[in-house]
Amino acid sequence: MITVTTPQPGVSAPPSRPARAGERARQARASLAECRLCAHDCGVNRLAGATGLCRAGAEPRFFSAQVEVADELELLPTFAVALSGCDLRCDFCITGESSWNPRAGAGFGAAAMAARAVAALRAGARTIMILGGEPTIHLPGVLDFVAHLPGSARLIWKTNAHGSASARELLDGMFEVWLADFKFGNDACARRLAKVPDYLRVVRENLRWADGHSELIVRHLLMPGHADCCWRPVAVWLAENLPGVKVSLRTGYWPGWHARRHAELRGTVPAAENDFAFGLARELGLNLIV
C-alpha cells in the first residue's frame, strides 16, 4: 500500500499541486519495485527490469503529443499526450501497436513535454490531456509531468478505469476531469475482447471513486453486436448508481487492429443498434454529452 502524505488542517496553506505531484512522483517511482498500479496486481520489480502483464519498464515513452479536436467538445482544443503501452489487450484498439507496446514511440521527458504543453495553452488549447495506451502504468512519469505544469492548468485524465486503489491515492487532486472508459457491460465480453478478468468490479469501483474526487465523464464506445450485452447494462448501472454523471456515447467504431478476430466486430454499428442505444439513454434519463 502506498501512503500519500496530506497536509494537516489548520497548520499552514496546503502545498500547490505541482509540489504535491513532485512528492507523489517519487512515491510512485519507489512503488515500481513491487508494481501494483493497475488491477492486475502483478507485484513485479520494474526498477530491476522485470515486467508484468503490461510489459512496461520503469521509464515511460510516448507515441503522440499534439493538439487534438476529436474528443468531447467541452474539453477542446486539448493538448493530448499519449503514452505507450497498456494493461488491457482490446482487440478493437484504434491505436493498436502503439497502445499495446510500451517501447513504441520516443522517450518521455517530463520537463520538456510540460514546456510543449504550456506553449499549446498559450496558443489556444484549453486543456491538457494524458492518455495512452493507459497512463496509469506510467504514474511516476505522469506525476513528474504534472509537477512541471502550472497549477492553474486544467488537466484531463483519460483512462480505461482499470487502476488500483494505490494508483487512485496518488492521483487524488491531480486532475480536474476524469474521462473514463466503461467498455464492457459484462465480464465475459471483457475477457474475450480485452483479456481482462474481474472487469466490472474494478471499473465500477474506480468510477464511484472518480465521481467523488473530480469531475467525471464516462465514455462508452458502442460496438456492433454489443448494444444489448454491453451498452444496456452499462447504461442501467450508470442511471442507478451515478445519476446525472456526464456520459459520452461514442458511435464512431471501426474495425481496427485485431477486431476482425471477432465476427461481430468486422463491420460498423448498424443503424438499428445506434437508434436503440440513444433511445435507451433517453429512456433512462442519462446526461449525454457530445
Question: 155-199, pLDDT tens digit by residue?
Answer: 999 999 999 999 999 999 999 999 999 999 999 999 999 999 999
pLDDT of amino acid 14: 86
Condensed to tens digits (0 to 9), the pLDDT of residues 32-62 reads 999 999 999 999 999 999 999 999 999 999 9
Model confidence band, residue 12 (pLDDT cutoffs 50, 70, 90): confident
Q: How many angstroms separate the Cα of 225 from the Cα of each of 46, 88, 192, 265?
A: 39, 21, 14, 7
Helices 199-213, 187-194: axis angle to 10 degrees equals 100
CA distance 183 to 159: 11
In contact, 262 and 226? CB cutoff 8 Å: no
Rg of the chain over all Cα atoms, to the nearest angstrom: 19
Structural domain boundaries in the chain: 17-288
| β-bridge partners, 66 | 80
Sign of the Cα pseudo-torsion (236, 238, 239, 241, in order): positive
CA distance 163 to 145: 19
CA distance 190 to 33: 29
CA distance 14 to 260: 52
pLDDT of amino acid 165: 98
Q: How many angstroms separate the Cα of 72 from the Cα of each of 8, 17, 68, 158?
A: 37, 25, 10, 11
Q: Evaluate if residue 6 carries a pLDDT over 80.
A: no
CA distance 137 to 279: 36
Cell of 189: 465480453
Average pLDDT over residues 3-17: 69
Q: How many angstroms separate the Cα of 98 from the Cα of each of 62, 118, 128, 253?
A: 9, 25, 20, 18
CATH of 17-288, one of 3.90.1170.40, 3.40.50.300, 2.40.50.100, 3.20.20.70: 3.20.20.70
Residue 97: its H or E element? helix 96-100
